[in-house]
Amino acid sequence: MQKVLVTGGCGYIGSHTIVDLIENGFEVVSVDNFSNSDASPLEGIFKITGRRMQNYAVDLCDLEKTKAIFHAHLDIAGIIHFAAFKSVGESVQKPVAYFRNNLNSLLNLLDCAKTFGVPHLIFSSSCSVYGNAESLPVTENSPLQRAESPYARTKQMGEQIIEDVALEAHDMSFILLRYFNPAGAHESGLIGESPRNKAENLVPVITETAIGKRSSMTVFGTDYPTRDGSCVRDYIHVMDLANAHTKALQFLLKKQNERQVEIFNLGIGEGATVLEVIRAFESVTGQPLNYQTGPRRPGDVIAIYSTYEKAARQLGWRPDFSIEDIMRTAWAWEKVRSGERE
């Protein structure tokens, strides 16, 4: 049983990925300082998998405390790095905090990986690195445009840092996973998206509005050059995304990579507008949504969606869940989450 260090393991994508890793035979150690999460996913993971997992409440920007984790686990076979600040809007307001946190944590992990001989690292990147793409769908070879937010720039810079480190660390291999808009929840309803800070991603905003935690929601921008004027995004179910991380790690462990740094897009290969997602939610759940339209939001790109052909070809990965599945599981999770808080 090979050991994997998952950073941000109590976060949304991290917790779902840990479930998939455990179900595929991996031992997992988590690092999460609960800056935008809490410890509740640890219990959900246990109920789903029957496995207890150790979490270190460590800030990865603290190099010495990060090193201590590696000292305690000298048999780590790979790292999956999720831990980062991730709000586009907040990054516009707090760019220094985003650069300091997202880049220093990555640098410390890379330092430890080299020092302790960990051969593989998977980096949680983002479709935001493409900016306002010249053509759609984007592929792994699409040129990166100007970042539209400090958050996106930290992902571009993180990728560049890894590319440079790879030139020196010849015994290491890396995968950059550029994923699109994760949404939905585990089918069990035991884990899902539950940020400590105010949710800004579209799907939890929709479910929180529908259940009454918000009186209404705003569609930011209806004058974009899209089919209905709202932004276009590629929504991927979080368990599809989780499984891609497991497959990416297996790919590296089997030494199937042709390049030291491999890049994969992870999306469902088609875009949906914000208004289409709202209509999908209303159709699947029968819940009417109270929303209004407003001006564009700083940092948002007009449209972005992917092709996942490379991931299908090399990783053997394909998404199984639809936008309807996303809305159904997200709504089921919202009802569970709200019931727990009453």
Active site residues: 151
Tell me the C-alpha distance between 256 and 23, whole Å: 22
Tell me the C-alpha distance between 9 and 21, whole Å: 12
- The pair of structure tokens assigned to 185 is 């929840």
Tell me the C-alpha distance between 81 and 108, whole Å: 11
Cβ-proximal residues to 205 (8 Å cutoff; 6+ apart), any chain:
199, 214, 217
The residues facing 56 across adjacent strands are 31
Only one residue has tokens 């939890």, namely 204
What burial class does residue 191 get, using C-beta atoms within 10 Å of its C-beta: 0-12 exposed, 13-18 middle, 19+ buried?
Answer: buried
Cβ-proximal residues to 228 (8 Å cutoff; 6+ apart), any chain:
222, 273, 275, 276
Q: Contact, 249 vs 78, CB < 8 A?
A: yes
Nearest one of 250, 184, 175 to 24, comparing CA atoms: 250
Nearest one of 184, 97, 84, 167 to 128, comparing CA atoms: 84
Query: What length does the chain have?
Result: 342
Tell me the C-alpha distance between 304 and 308, whole Å: 13
Tell me the C-alpha distance between 278 and 271, whole Å: 14
Tell me the C-alpha distance between 176 and 207, whole Å: 30
Q: How far is CA 165 from the centre of its chain?
A: 23
